[in-house]
Amino acid sequence: MKDTVRRAICFLGLFFSASYLPRAANEVWSADAPQRVRIAYASRSSSAMPLYMALQKGYFKAEGLEVEIIQMNPRLGATAVVNGDVSFATPFTSTFRGILQGFPMKLVFIHLKKGPYYVMVRPDIKEVQQLKGKKLGVATIKGTDQLVAEEMLQAKGFNPNQLQAVAIGDGPVRMQALVSGAVDAVSVAPPHDLMLRKMGYPALAGPPEVGLPSAGMLTSNRLIKDNPLLVKRTLKALLRSHHYILENRQDTIQTLIKWLPQPLDIAEHSYDGELKTLSRDGIMTDLEIDAIIARVGEKKRPLDEVRDFSFARDAMKELGPAR
């Protein structure tokens, strides 16, 4: 089993460079040709499954969209969207923080309102106070995984300021860092937590009772103004993907294994721990958005400047009520 898991880690550790992407903003679309859409996601993990499922089931194609999903460092997401390198970015905290800092963007859809993160540690670490002075591997500094890990540890009586956060990147790379001893703990979501457990690395905390969204759809004000129909069609395809995932556990698990080669029990864990919590409407309340702003932003901005769920609502009306 360890060899299987290690092979899966090596596969997951491969990611694509976004350095040579042509600018989406410069595409010229005709009325009849499929409209090209590039979506940046942070990690090859189950949180990106709605994108992959929408591709596999032809939901994007049915909306007249030619979609490319691209793995990208979450800290680059906001800049890539504003520059027109991609149409949407899915990493939530880093991109949303960019909006709060003044990037001309909005949150238009939410995949997961609460990411099920776990703090995984070396086998010799038995309790939280042993983390004093240790290194915590995270995707990016002050990203969702770090903030949630710190909140969980703080709830257990540990001062997170006594940890040294180290930005490592993708979930599989964080796993490798823990296994190699480069860090003492990592914050990861399914399936990576169970993969580490099978290798003898325990969970010191998780999942959180109160978490942060791990993935959404964030786009530029320019795209919202210039091509609102594209935004609505993209979200409509993703809503269809959400509903399919929620209503078809077994097929979703098999599709997840194609997306992320992994043992069946790990894929089942990913579905039950994360994918079954997908939003049915892609919308968050203003109270939920306000709470997130208070947790991740240094300054408060008017809600109308940071979110626009009108496209998700319109897409839901066209799809009809979810079962």
Per-residue confidence of the chain (323 residues) as pLDDT tens digits? 445 445 444 444 433 333 333 334 434 344 468 899 999 998 878 889 999 999 999 999 999 999 999 999 888 889 999 999 999 999 999 899 999 999 999 999 999 988 889 999 999 999 999 999 999 999 989 888 999 999 999 999 999 999 999 999 888 899 999 999 999 999 998 888 999 999 999 999 988 877 789 899 999 999 999 999 999 999 999 999 999 999 999 999 999 999 888 899 999 999 998 898 899 999 999 999 998 998 887 678 899 999 999 999 999 999 976 54
Res 116: pLDDT: 87
Which pLDDT value is given to residue 44? 79
| Number of Cβ atoms within 10 Å of the Cβ of 126 | 11
Residue with the two structure tokens 């880093």 = 94
- What is the rounded distance in angstroms from the CA atom of residue 82 to the CA atom of residue 72? 15
Residue 43 CA to residue 75 CA, distance in Å, equals 12
Q: Residue 93 half-sphere exposure, CB side, CA atoms within 13 Å?
A: 24
Walk me through the domains of the chain, giving residue ranges and CATH numbers: 2-114+213-319 (3.40.190.10), 118-205 (3.40.190.10)
Q: Cα separations (Å) of 108 from 25, 274, 321? A: 18, 21, 19
What pTM was computed for the model? Answer: 0.80
Tens of pLDDT along 117-175? 999 999 999 999 999 999 999 998 988 899 999 999 999 999 999 999 999 988 889 99
> Residue 32: its pLDDT value, please?
62
Give the Cα separation of 256 and 267 in Å (integer): 7
CB-based contacts of 288, cutoff 8 Å, min separation 6 = 113
Cross-strand pairs, 106: 219
